[in-house]
Copies of this chain bind each other. A is one copy, B any other.
């Protein structure tokens, strides 16, 4: 922080500066040290007062983490409707943007996944609400681009999926037919690889939550609550921010400011923060060793223990929820693997104890978490720049289907289930090694390893390795599978019998290994 001493000196210097007339070519840059406090509004209602029907609004937060509670509450009491809400997801039925779904003030959402919100799914499938489902990294970059004066950019994310091809249902008609569907994207090749063009996503307002602001509107966020809040500040005509504390200009270290005040038009001090959690899970709750694991749990553990053999010292990895996350429990002692969470953390730690619980610190699955020494926090645009830029060594995800050429489907079952792709499309397009771990067969016994995926793709020719409880396959992308390991209790013929995809059998085939515990 600037010490009181330094601050006083700067002020003094400034106040004498205007009097100097003998400055020559090299002038003293001078600005007055006023507080800029005309940005501070007394109430959320005043800060929101000019929002009109039909406005497009960027809403900060990652689900409930870092959502602007006071401003959303005030908005629910206003007579504005037909809003387009841009956000990572819609919160829950009763919190976050869920509140604006309850009041029927939204006519469209642009989000990356559906999350824990049954009302959202109901309004979407009944044709009350349009939803433009967008890969999380593309969403973050479209918002970043809007703030940065970049009208369009190219990304590998979504190439050869519904995102590029178009036709994803945005709005259903009352009769269940598709009234509006997404448009195809322009494809262009750079350095021998295909990319799709995405355009900037502007908004009339950004409604965001930061931790601390100074009177000039400079913002500092707390831990994983930075997420979409930071890029959204830069991408709207009018940015309205609520914070837990407002301090005098000059109190914040200028090197620690995450969003400079130039982006912030209106500021309020929020009150009574509830900070609800999507998923409250404590170490204490999962540490119960009294119950023996179920058969299903044993299957998942077997897969996770094989997956864990893929970790190497010094790796940076992103693990999807479920079995991928479970595999991190088996990282060998003494091996350093830094886990990334796409909501803005590098260096995830274990579940928190009750004492460690911090609602501003959740992982990408919206579970409470901790960090390890050497961790860092960043915003969603930076997080996906890190992913898309090919800086991750390893991505481990679950799947609904994988094809023999390495296609992956894990975000949607048309007419039945739309989870949203979240960050998965960005992760598999990033060029990191992609491991898919899943149960070999679906509940009805059908093969999840297909000749060709029947579901909409998350990525085309993106998978490097498939690990199930029965077998391990190496994928030559675009070519085919090679069976390299078979689990104890299974033969190659067993694997052929339960697998739809054709595959070669490695001449060096061996028993499926498990990490030493």
Residue of B nearest to A190 (CB): B151
A361 CB → nearest B CB, Å: 10
A293's contact among B22, B29, B322, by CB below 8 Å, is which? B22
A371, A372, A389: residue with the most chain B Cβ atoms closer than 10 Å = A372
A507 in contact (CB, < 8 A) = no
A103 in contact (CB, < 8 A) = no
Could you tell me if A256 and B254 are in contact, using CB atoms closer than 8 angstroms?
A: no
A350's contact among B13, B154, B262, B517, by CB below 8 Å, is which? B13
A272 in contact (CB, < 8 A) = no
Q: Which residues of chain A in 247-283 are interfacial with respect to chain B, using CB atoms and an 8 Å cutoff?
A: 248-250, 254-258, 260-263, 279, 281, 283
Interface flags for A307-321 (1: CB within 8 Å of B; 0: not) read 000000010100100
Per the bound structure, the CA–CA distance linking A249 and B114 in Å amounts to 36
Could you tell me if B378 and A260 are in contact, using CB atoms closer than 8 angstroms?
A: yes
Given A374-B250, A389-B147, is A24 in contact with B297 using a C-beta cutoff of 8 Å? yes
Could you tell me if B153 and A150 are in contact, using CB atoms closer than 8 angstroms?
A: yes
Interface flags for A374-417 (1: CB within 8 Å of B; 0: not) read 11111000001111111110000000000000000000000000
A377's contact among B147, B195, B255, by CB below 8 Å, is which? B255
Could you tell me if A254 and B375 are in contact, using CB atoms closer than 8 angstroms?
A: yes
Per the bound structure, the CA–CA distance linking A150 and B366 in Å amounts to 28
Residues of B close to A214: CB separation below 8 A: 374
A25 in contact (CB, < 8 A) = yes
Per the bound structure, the CA–CA distance linking A395 and B436 in Å amounts to 52
A260 CB → nearest B CB, Å: 4
Q: Which residues of chain A in 309-340 are interfacial with respect to chain B, using CB atoms and an 8 Å cutoff?
A: 314, 316, 319, 322, 325-340
Could you tell me if A286 and B28 are in contact, using CB atoms closer than 8 angstroms?
A: yes
A149's contact among B23, B149, B155, B257, by CB below 8 Å, is which? B155
A23, A365, A373, A386: residue with the most chain B Cβ atoms closer than 10 Å = A373
A-B contact pairs, 30 of them (CB 8 A): A7-B373, A10-B371, A11-B373, A13-B283, A14-B349, A17-B329, A20-B287, A23-B287, A25-B300, A26-B279, A27-B286, A28-B283, A28-B349, A29-B349, A30-B350, A36-B336, A36-B374, A144-B385, A148-B384, A149-B430, A151-B190, A152-B188, A152-B190, A216-B374, A234-B385, A234-B386, A250-B373, A255-B377, A257-B376, A261-B374
- Chain A residues proximal to chain B, CB less than 8 Å: 2, 7, 9-11, 13-14, 17-18, 20-36, 38, 141, 144-156, 188, 190-191, 193, 195, 199, 214-216, 218, 220-223, 226, 234, 248-250, 254-258, 260-263, 279, 281, 283, 286-289, 291, 293, 297, 300-301, 304, 314, 316, 319, 322, 325-341, 346-351, 353, 356, 363, 365, 367, 369-378, 384-392, 430-431, 517
